[in-house]
Structure 1
């Protein structure tokens, strides 16, 4: 009986020690990511990304409306679809405020398309040039790509985000079309389509998968050094989860607690949009730093940087 008790006590002791070591390891991960975030002044960088992101967002929507109005045959329908997409991320007031700003240029769709394309390429390329610099700082990497290659990369990233934006635009549109023609789709497939139950879940999964893929590509190709795909995926998972969580919490906060209308009046929607862009940029930087820390701790990729000499080989902070 004593042997059984001793064995049971030993197992509990080992499990407790293992759990404690895992908790310490998890805390050291969080602590190191936090320290890197502070050392790289990531919050300031996020503000710069949000600024140029705001400048590129309006031309992007102008460009999207110019193209969608031809595809849908109605500029008003294009605006309605874009407002519906933005409503999935922002509160309704912010989405309406954003789309109302660009309604005045719809009578000149050709000019809107040209202005939108040029403005989007300039501002968005600035976003990604800042992103390249800050990701290199997070990875302690020197930029080895020439001027032409770097700017081609920035333009390629612009197109990448534009493609994922189109996917985000088409996903709820496809959901609406499926709901409208569900009977025809059921007859064609021979399988009943549960629009009210299954399809919204699939739409959310598809949106998350697109977000995850976008973050993964950014963390894999932007730094001017070889990035393990495991590390890029780790950062992408963190960023995608935080972004989906931030969407829910941000909407909850704005709807229930914030009083922007009382303070900012007609500008409340724009202020909410700016805050959302800033939060998104912070999440982008958190994912990049998570990817860098993962590579350092898991693969022993130790950049020789003074700010990281305070960590031992396991990534634990030295005394």
Structure 2
């Protein structure tokens, strides 16, 4: 993918990117996504837990969700305690107390987040013909299925037991294979984030005229940006923010909300990168 930057004049690409960001005002659009994202986050987590519980034991689902949230969320005041506590509560609710009516309500709430994301990506893609109301929800439902599948596959890959590794590599060097497995497991979280960004860019917008290479570069920029900004945000919150003194027990909620907003900006920035590459490259 790097050869695109050799073929495209860098100055022209930067000018197109900056003008597109200003035109679409991604900071304001990110606030909309953050609001709907926070509203749909708990229903989405419950749906993932409910769906994954049919294939994976609850303990494995809980450990995987705790690990993946801690992988994405910066080190914030009381972050680990709040994450483990809330994931444990969602596991208890999602696996035993979600009925048909509750499942429909969760689906509707989650679909609202995907529909709003579709509309914003259509604005950035500048799609002329947009999907109907029904098709928007069908696409959102499909994206939920893709996300659930990715979660289950990644969870299975990340929770393979030591006994299984010992059975497979009984005659080999178990230390080597275990170290290799742990390295692969650590890569599963960035890979899941990268694939999620790519599938959102590929399937949510109405227009599908973008090259895969442009979308892959945009997804890569988003993934790297989220992990880099995660470290910067953690340093800021621990050294400069003093949020624990100002907000007390609400410090985690305030910082987490701000972090979700930053992530939304980065995801939209990755989309703008794909748009700028297409505009300049073609």
Q: TM-score range by the shorter chain?
A: 0.7 to 0.9
- With structure 2 as the length reference, what TM-score do the two structures score? 0.80
The alignment status of 1:244 with 2:227, answered yes or no, reads: yes
Unaligned regions of 5+ residues in structure 1, if any?
1-20, 300-319
1:63-103 CA-to-partner distances (Å, cap 9, x unmatched) read 4445666766667x754543233222223723432453465
Q: In 2, distance between residues paired with 1:227 and 1:192?
A: 45
Q: In 2, distance between residues paired with 1:164 and 1:119?
A: 23
What's 1:130 paired with?
Answer: 116
The alignment status of 1:83 with 2:69, answered yes or no, reads: no
- With structure 1 as the length reference, what TM-score do the two structures score? 0.72
Q: In 1, distance between residues paired with 2:231 and 2:52?
A: 28
Deviation at 1:298, TM superposition (A): 0.7
Find 1:94's aligned residue among 73, 79, 91.
Answer: 79
1:223-248 CA-to-partner distances (Å, cap 9, x unmatched) read 22222222222212211221232333
Deviation at 1:163, TM superposition (A): 2.8
Matched position secondary structure for 1:145: coil
Q: In 2, distance between residues paired with 1:104 and 1:151?
A: 29
The alignment status of 1:298 with 2:281, answered yes or no, reads: yes
Deviation at 1:137, TM superposition (A): 1.4
Tell me if the contact between 1:186 and 1:193 (Cα under 8 Å) persists in the aligned partners: no
Question: Greater relative contact order: 1 or 2 (C-alpha under 8 angstroms, separation 6 or more)?
Answer: 2
Matched position secondary structure for 1:287: helix
1:257-298 CA-to-partner distances (Å, cap 9, x unmatched) read 432222222222222322222122111111111111111111
The alignment status of 1:281 with 2:267, answered yes or no, reads: no
Q: Alignment RMSD, CA only?
A: 3.2
Q: In 2, distance between residues paired with 1:202 and 1:50?
A: 31
Q: In 2, distance between residues paired with 1:199 and 1:50?
A: 34
Q: In 2, distance between residues paired with 1:186 and 1:82?
A: 28
The alignment status of 1:222 with 2:208, answered yes or no, reads: no
Find 2:22's aligned residue among 26, 29, 38.
Answer: 38
Change (3 A) 1:82 1:229: closer
Change (3 A) 1:73 1:250: same
Tell me if the contact between 1:216 and 1:236 (Cα under 8 Å) persists in the aligned partners: yes
What's 1:26 paired with?
Answer: 10
Deviates more, 1:284-293 or 1:79-88: 79-88
Deviation at 1:196, TM superposition (A): 6.8
Change (3 A) 1:89 1:286: same
Change (3 A) 1:116 1:82: farther
Change (3 A) 1:275 1:168: farther
Deviates more, 1:244-253 or 1:191-200: 191-200
Unaligned regions of 5+ residues in structure 2, if any?
none
1:121-170 CA-to-partner distances (Å, cap 9, x unmatched) read 22321222122211111122123423322221111112222333344544
Tell me if the contact between 1:94 and 1:268 (Cα under 8 Å) persists in the aligned partners: no
What's 1:317 paired with?
Answer: none
What's 2:184 paired with?
Answer: 202
Quick check: which has more Rg, 1 or 2? Answer: 1
Matched position secondary structure for 2:222: helix
Q: In 1, distance between residues paired with 2:201 and 2:82?
A: 32
Find 1:62's aligned residue among 30, 46, 50.
Answer: 46
